């Protein structure tokens, strides 16, 4: 990794020429990003070669970047973020095999993965208010607001669910990269 910081910029898809946003924050090696209800954004910061991304930073236009959370485990490696309508940020911690949720008021919920080292990949806030996540070991997980954890095994040898997203009409979409990319949906 070089010594030059990464940049967080507003999307260039407005049709105008892309330019550096002077209100953009300077963050060293930003990795996943999620926009929170309101005017802030949260990024996970990769902090060094053997220091994975265990720090969440809150960015607000025109204000200094502030730490939102630092996970205690040096194994932590936040590889996916998702914002919920309530303002909470869910995250998949690949390195420590846990799912977490930083709630709008600052409290933290952590859930140890039922299948440790299964390769947590992605996370989304579902239309049912639950946290949904994927594991490369062929599982899709769901954590309800009441802290009930369920894991669903996907059929098919070599299934490696990767991406996950909430869709319309109470659907959850999952991509599976291990079986030549299949996209499927389910209703919670």
Residue 149 burial class via C-beta count within 10 angstroms: exposed 0-12, middle 13-18, buried 19 and up: middle
Q: Tell me whether residue 145 is in a domain.
A: yes
Q: Tell me whether residue 131 is in a domain.
A: yes
Q: Tell me whether residue 75 is in a domain.
A: no
Range of the domain at 172: 125-188
Q: Tell me whether residue 102 is in a domain.
A: no
Query: What integer is the mean pLDDT of 53-80?
Result: 84
Token pair 């200094």: residue: 64
Q: Tell me whether residue 36 is in a domain.
A: no
DSSP assignment string, 51-113: S-S-EEEEE-TTS--EEEEE-S-TT--EEEEEE-TTS-EEEEETTTTEEEEE-TTS-EEEEE-
pLDDT in tens, 74-112: 888 888 999 888 888 999 988 888 999 988 888 899 998
Q: Tell me whether residue 167 is in a domain.
A: yes
Q: Tell me whether residue 173 is in a domain.
A: yes
**Nearest residue to 103 via CA among 165, 142, 62, 145:** 145
Given a contact cutoff of 8 angstroms between Cβ atoms, the answer to whether 162 and 175 are in contact is yes
pLDDT given at position 139: 86
Q: Tell me whether residue 185 is in a domain.
A: yes
Distance separating alpha carbons of residues 38 and 88, to the nearest angstrom: 11
Token pair 């802290």: residue: 147
Number of independent structural domains in the chain: 1
- pLDDT value at 31 more than 80: no
């Amino acid at each position: 990794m070089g010594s030059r910081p990464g940049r967080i910029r507003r999307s260039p898809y407005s049709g105008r020429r892309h330019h550096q946003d002077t209100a953009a924050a300077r963050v060293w090696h930003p990795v996943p990003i999620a926009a929170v209800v309101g005017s802030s954004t949260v990024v996970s910061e990769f902090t060094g070669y053997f220091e994975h991304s265990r720090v969440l930073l809150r960015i607000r236009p025109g204000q200094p970047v502030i730490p939102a959370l630092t996970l205690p485990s040096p194994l932590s490696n936040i590889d996916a973020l998702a914002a919920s309508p309530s303002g909470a940020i869910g995250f998949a911690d690949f390195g420590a095999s846990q799912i977490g949720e930083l709630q709008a008021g600052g409290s933290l919920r952590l859930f140890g993965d039922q299948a440790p080292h299964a390769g947590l990949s992605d996370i989304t806030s579902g239309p049912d208010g639950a946290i949904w996540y994927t594991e490369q070991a062929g599982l899709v997980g769901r954590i309800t607001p009441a802290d009930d954890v369920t894991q669903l095994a996907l059929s098919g040898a070599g299934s490696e669910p990767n991406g996950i997203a909430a869709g319309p009409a109470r659907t959850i979409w999952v991509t599976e990269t291990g079986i030549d990319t299949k996209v499927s949906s389910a209703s919670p």
